[in-house]
Amino acid sequence: MKTFSDEEMQGLLTTSRGYSLVILKKGPKHGSEGSDTIVWEHARRNFAMRGAGKLVIVLPVRDETDVCGVGIFDTDLDETASLMAEDPGVQAGVFTFVVHPARSFPGDALPS
């Protein structure tokens, strides 16, 4: 693993930019009758937002906590909150969400 000098780190940090991080959590109606259909429509919408370049990374969480997923949006905080408020799962109470400002480096990606 490479060791980075202070100068290299400072140079790289100047290339970072803002993103919005969404933490999706179980809502009061999570797991209720019919919620699986709503979750499917939530996923369909996620694919559409990915295709539009707004939701750049989607990470479903598969454990026993109340966290259902994490998303990184290439939109500002207000637009991200608005997009999430329109989500069918959020509107149905299946999910809740929190939006956080975050920074990363353009071109970062998950390994294929």
What the chain holds in terms of domains, given with CATH numbers, is: 16-104 (3.30.70.1060)
With a cut of 90, say whether residue 92 has pLDDT above it.
Answer: yes
Where does the pLDDT of residue 12 fall: very low under 50, low under 70, confident under 90, or very high at 90 and above?
A: very high
Entry pTM: 0.91
Q: What angle do CA 103, 41, 61 make, to 5 degrees?
A: 45
| Beta bridge pairs of residue 22 | 71, 99
Q: How far apart are CA 59 and CA 107, in angstroms?
A: 17
CB 54, CB 73: distance < 8 Å: yes
